[in-house]
Amino acid sequence: MQKNGELLTEWLIIDTVYDENKQPIRRIAIFTDLTERIQANRTIWRQAHFDHLTDLPNRLELKERLNQRFKELKKNQKHFVVMLLDVDHFKDINDTLGHHYGDNLLKEVSQRIVQATKNADFVARIGGDEFVIVFNDIKSTRHISQIATNILLSLSSVIHLKSEELFISASLGIACAPDDGENTEQLLKAADQAMYKVKNNGRNGFEFFSQDMREQAQARMILLKDLRCAIELDQFELFYQPIVTLNDLHMHKAEGLIRWQHPTRGLMSPIVFIPLAEETRQINKIGQFVFTQAIQTLNDIKRITDDNFQISVNVSPIQLSTPNSGIDDWYTMLKAAKLPASSIVAEITEGLMVNPEELTQTRLKTLVQSGMQLALDDFGTGYSSLAYLQEMDTDYLKIDKRFVDNIQADSKELVLCEAIIVMAHQLGLKVIAEGIETTLQLQLLREAGCDYGQGYLFSKPLNKKDFMALVAGKKEILSK
């Protein structure tokens, strides 16, 4: 006890002092005040176990608590539920508004979650914009769904951050112990897989973990593994789909489309593996493969025609935003092949144009300055802002197949196509219609003033041998 009455933790050492004859003459007691040291230890522990921004338990603390729950579960059979919440598009908000706003937003989100889950055991923040909410012993799915709905609802009302008004949403994955996982790691993984499903379904919602999610995730892992060695094993092939001028059906361009010959699953669609390749940055290597192939083919074409033939390559946003993607080597590669930069058209998507990162912006500018051309792919499926087109120096606009599919005389889609074509022309862009399958579509698009067309009516994507035969004029594009 201190003089002021406060309790004090101390360390006591008692020692004995001896005389020359080794007889004890005195005992000494040394007291050390440990209050500060204990306080410091406590602070260190807290820093290691709690998140400094929201003051919620962090990943380490969450794991320790869940490990404890699993131990208890063996004894008392008490089930528990974890919800993994991830704020949708948080990175965009953070990048656009800055980290200071991002931090304040996360504080607000954490408060709203805590408010909305008063019956929760606890809420943890396990990184960036990810939170985990743990509930003890709720058994009915209806009850859990109700709570999840409440959380999402509480996040949906406007958030005021200084002068900004923000609307956010979140994706929630739910897993129940012990059914969905026998240990902490498995359970959190299950919640993550459920959350991933919500993201894939368009975000802003919740999903319970199910066994087939685990199977899908496993299949995905295997595919990712196979993808990693597909280039080395020579399993990719670039196909070419002709792009023709609509008035005379001459082919002056083609689009390069990648194909993956999987050893056991057969020909895989790029729609399946491109997103995976983007996730793992594997797309950069694939992009380099595509570019190399395109250059070789252009050189082969040059030998048989004197045409200014162009090949379009699809460029993923990842290739533009990753520092060492290889895209900066394209200019030397073209030079080495003695090809003008204008023989390549880079097809990019609209998403790229909304808040592009600095590196992406610089690269797009360099690309245009080099003489390469730009095509805006899938027009009409994304943000569809004509303002971006002008800003980006785009040369071509590709009308998405979805529009082309439904055009008929007097249809809404035809009016829309006509309007897009007129506006594009006013901005100095040429229009390519994708996915033309019928002569009626061809005729209507021609009448609407569309410049180019691509689709099964003219030709499916062809392997290099068949494509070269077509270029050499050994085959007809379409019996006119």
Interacting residue ranges for ligand C2E, rule: CB under 6 A: 241, 256-258, 269-271, 274, 283, 290, 314, 316, 377-378, 401, 434-437, 454-456, 461
Q: Does 86 bind Ca ion (CB under 5 A)?
A: no
Compute the least distance from the CB of residue 142 to ligand C2E, in Å: 41
The one of ligand C2E, Ca ion, none whose footprint includes residue 274, by CB under 5 to 8 A per kind, is ligand C2E
Burial of 420 (0-12, 13-18, 19+ CB in 10 A): buried
Q: Which two tokens stand for residue 291?
A: 């570019």
- The residue (of 177 and 429) whose beta carbon lies closer to Ca ion is 429
- One residue of 51, 86, 207, 377 binding Ca ion per CB under 5 A: 377
Euclidean distance between CA atoms 79 and 136, whole angstroms = 7
Cα–chain center distance at 224: 15
Taking residues 161 to 190 in sequence order and writing x for each that binds Ca ion by CB under 5 A, - otherwise, the string is ------------------------------
Q: How many CB atoms lie within 10 A of CB 407?
A: 23
Residue 378: left if φ>0, alpha if ψ -120 to 50, beta else—which one? left
The one of Ca ion, ligand C2E, none whose footprint includes residue 456, by CB under 5 to 8 A per kind, is ligand C2E
Q: How many CB atoms lie within 10 A of CB 442?
A: 22
Euclidean distance between CA atoms 376 and 394, whole angstroms = 7
Q: Which two tokens stand for residue 421?
A: 């074509």
Packing angle of the helix pair 184-200, 211-228 (nearest 10 deg): 80
- The residue (of 207 and 378) whose beta carbon lies closer to Ca ion is 378
Compute the least distance from the CB of residue 248 to ligand C2E, in Å: 20
The one of ligand C2E, Ca ion, none whose footprint includes residue 113, by CB under 5 to 8 A per kind, is none
Compute the least distance from the CB of residue 271 to Ca ion, in Å: 11
Q: Does 314 bind Ca ion (CB under 5 A)?
A: yes
- The residue (of 310 and 314) whose beta carbon lies closer to Ca ion is 314
Compute the least distance from the CB of residue 57 to ligand C2E, in Å: 41
Euclidean distance between CA atoms 54 and 52, whole angstroms = 6
Compute the least distance from the CB of residue 271 to ligand C2E, in Å: 5
Compute the least distance from the CB of residue 372 to ligand C2E, in Å: 16
Taking the CA atoms of residue 249, residue 252, residue 255 and residue 259 in that order, the dihedral angle to the nearest 10 degrees is 90
Q: Which two tokens stand for residue 20?
A: 């020359």
Task: List, in order, residues 6 or more apart from 321 with CB less than 8 Å away.
Answer: 357, 359, 360
DSSP character string of 272-311:
HHHHHHHHTTTHHHHHHHHHHHHHHHHHHHHHH--S--EE
Euclidean distance between CA atoms 416 and 108, whole angstroms = 42
Euclidean distance between CA atoms 170 and 106, whole angstroms = 12
Compute the least distance from the CB of residue 412 to ligand C2E, in Å: 21
Euclidean distance between CA atoms 217 and 236, whole angstroms = 24
The one of ligand C2E, Ca ion, none whose footprint includes residue 257, by CB under 5 to 8 A per kind, is ligand C2E
- The residue (of 94 and 314) whose beta carbon lies closer to ligand C2E is 314
Residues 11-40 binding Ca ion (CB under 5 A) are none
- The residue (of 130 and 437) whose beta carbon lies closer to ligand C2E is 437
Q: How many CB atoms lie within 10 A of CB 349?
A: 18
Q: How many CB atoms lie within 10 A of CB 409?
A: 9
Contact 175, 210 (CB under 8 A): no
Q: Does 192 bind Ca ion (CB under 5 A)?
A: no
Taking residues 328 to 347 in sequence order and writing x for each that binds Ca ion by CB under 5 A, - otherwise, the string is -------------------x
- The residue (of 297 and 314) whose beta carbon lies closer to ligand C2E is 314
The one of Ca ion, ligand C2E, none whose footprint includes residue 316, by CB under 5 to 8 A per kind, is ligand C2E
Euclidean distance between CA atoms 280 and 282, whole angstroms = 5
- The residue (of 61 and 378) whose beta carbon lies closer to Ca ion is 378
Which among 133-141, 233-241, 282-290, 370-378 is the span making contact with Ca ion, rule CB under 5 A? 370-378
Q: Does 350 bind Ca ion (CB under 5 A)?
A: no
Q: Does 378 bind Ca ion (CB under 5 A)?
A: yes
Compute the least distance from the CB of residue 313 to Ca ion, in Å: 9
Compute the least distance from the CB of residue 398 to ligand C2E, in Å: 7
Q: How many CB atoms lie within 10 A of CB 370?
A: 14
Which among 49-57, 376-384, 451-459, 471-479 is the span making contact with Ca ion, rule CB under 5 A? 376-384
Packing angle of the helix pair 211-228, 270-279 (nearest 10 deg): 80
Max Cα–Cα distance, the chain, nearest Å:
124
| E strand residue ranges, 19-54 | 24-33
Number of residues that bind Ca ion (CB under 5 A): 5
Euclidean distance between CA atoms 458 and 479, whole angstroms = 9
Compute the least distance from the CB of residue 390 to Ca ion, in Å: 21
- The residue (of 187 and 375) whose beta carbon lies closer to ligand C2E is 375
- The residue (of 117 and 314) whose beta carbon lies closer to ligand C2E is 314
Compute the least distance from the CB of residue 293 to ligand C2E, in Å: 9
Residue numbers at the binding site for Ca ion (CB under 5 A): 314, 347, 377-378, 434
